[in-house]
Chains A and B, each alone.
Chain A
Amino acid sequence: MRKVYLHSRCELRPGDPEPDWRSVFSVMEARRMGRLLKRAVWTSSEALKAAGIAVPDAVVIGTDFGCIDNSEQFLRGVKGIEGAPLKPTHFMQSTHNTIASLIAIRLGCHGYNATYSHRGRSFESALQDAATQIALGDIDTALVGWFDEMTPLLAESLAAQGIDPKEHALAVVLSANPEGALDEIPSLRSE
């Protein structure tokens, strides 16, 4: 089993000022993307840039609750709430794997692509998946992300269940290469 190294890390925290999106995409593109996708694509691109990797061998994303803004908009359409329209775009962008898919399309990345959605374990699972494949020697590099958005309705539901409603926009790059690494990923545990 090979060792796995952390090469870069880019995060936007909820209170952070908006970055200059133009470092990654055009104003037109930014307009077409929702808040979640914009933050996901931007942090991913910056993390890859910092790691000096154009196209990673794998894109593995964790999202605790998925693309809920689009889900809610489509649900409003399905239920005919306040005359909301039924838009296929909302459905297409409601699936959890929309984020990893969009990143792969932008990068032209045909490698391994997966999305985990399991509440607080989503990012940990994505990291474990990518690190396992690097350790096994199946891949050399991976982009791993953790992306979540909050709507007032979901925040209310989570708070009622005692879960802290949190947005996430974190991208990291893992590699088998020790050169220029920020850190070593602790060895994979067997539970």
Chain B
Amino acid sequence: MDPVLHITGAGVVSAIGCGQAESLDALRRGRSGIGPVRYLETACRDFPVGEVALSNAELAARTGAPSDLCRTSLLGILALQEALAQAGFGSLEGIPLIGGTTVGGMDLTEQVFPAYSRLHDCGASTDAIAAHFGGAPWATTLSTACSSALNAVIFGANLIRSGQADIVAVGGSECLSDFHLHGFGSLMILDKEPCRPFDATRAGLNLGEGAAFLILESETSMKRRGARSLGILSGFGNACDAFHQTASSENGEGAYLAMRKALAMAGLRPGDVGYVNAHGTGTPNNDASESAALRRIFGEAVPPVSSTKALTGHTTSACGTIEAVFCLLALQEGFIPGQANWHQADPACITPYRGGEEAFQAPTGRLPLKHVLCNAFGFGGNDSSILLSHA
């Protein structure tokens, strides 16, 4: 891709930890953050969730933000704080903010309904994040359900490619809400057990929450500032399955097109991809459809694939950038997150990578990862895929 787009900062929070260091440790150990509901006020307590292990007051204390913000904003502020600091920025001065969320401030509205919180809508939750960092020159919000964060990355990348910005802050944030816990429950796609992506016995997803932001920067700007690259955004694709409002097509058309576009943009062949962080929600439908798409792209030679949602839960609108940060860690550390909770093969699914000793057989103890794909698919067939490469 021209110009070369670097990631110079990353910040992440999910059920497996706050920040890149805690996340890396959990990914290496396969430590899950799934458990019973602790903070969310809900009557829907039969389903395990991937909750961030901090109350709103604790999130506010860590960032200095007011604790009466919606949790989506509080999580977003914590993640963006880490990303900006790593890139060497103290504020959003001169940096547009492209957020991604669907739940927004629904956690506040559902407490006062029938009335609306003034922070109810998606835009208000992104604006609250921007305000914490001194305000951005402008901000906007993608809301394409579970691919929101990756679509924020794609729009931000296009702003740099077209010369409308040199540096953008892009990502997604989403808290658990009683609203969408009931919603996913009503669609019968929640599992009462820990989710089992790509396993024959998979029976649904576990909802999670979290946030992750990336600082995306042109190479010229990065060199001028003397900043360090964590990885390169070498390609991306957004396509629509155009099949059903909530289900994915059998042949995974949207997912296939999104991955194919990302590879074409990067000028890479399928064989160049060393790891795929799958959308892999653990629902019977998603994992079979995504597997069909992966087989169409990679044929017999499917590279290591895993879904980290078995550890974090499905962090919905935020999952794209949370998992992109995991991919950056994999590229930098030379490791592949193994698939947790997988025991039994399903002919309709790819066999995921389960980690283990082979990761440490390379002389350096590191896998020579060069390019990784990260998928995020949303309701409405909003399918996106990004390709991240070693800097």
> Which A residues lie at the B interface, using CB under 8 A?
1, 59, 63-66, 71-72, 74-79, 81, 86-88, 91-98, 100-102, 104-105, 107-119, 121-122, 125, 129, 132-133, 135-136, 138, 153-154, 157, 160-161, 188-191
Contact = CB atoms under 8 A, between A and B. Distances in A.
Given A129-B158, A190-B163, A93 B118 contact: no
A48 to B, nearest CB: 15
24 contacts: A75-B109, A76-B114, A78-B110, A79-B113, A91-B183, A97-B143, A100-B240, A100-B380, A101-B242, A101-B245, A110-B240, A110-B257, A113-B381, A113-B382, A117-B123, A117-B142, A118-B122, A129-B155, A129-B158, A135-B162, A153-B114, A157-B115, A157-B116, A191-B96
A161 B124 CA distance: 12
Interface stretch (B20-28, B132-140, B208-216): B132-140
A110 B113 CA distance: 37
Contacts of B242: 101, 104-105, 107-110
A40 B120 CA distance: 23
Contact of B114 (A1, A81, A104): A81
Given A101-B380, A110-B239, A115-B142, A136 B161 contact: yes
A129 B98 CA distance: 12
B144 A98 contact: no
Interface of B: 96, 102, 109-110, 113-116, 118, 120-124, 126-127, 137-145, 151, 155, 158-159, 161-165, 178-180, 182-183, 186-187, 238-246, 253-254, 257, 378-382
Contact of B141 (A95, A104, A118): A118
A77 to B, nearest CB: 8
B252 to A, nearest CB: 12
A114 B122 contact: no
Contacts of B138: 121, 191
B116 A154 contact: yes
Contacts of A63: 143
Contacts of B182: 74, 77-78, 86, 91
The 8 closest A-B pairs by CB, nearest first: A101-B380, A118-B123, A91-B183, A157-B116, A113-B240, A96-B143, A119-B123, A88-B186
B96 A114 contact: no
B240 A101 contact: yes
B180 to A, nearest CB: 8
B158 A132 contact: yes
B197 to A, nearest CB: 22
A163 to B, nearest CB: 10
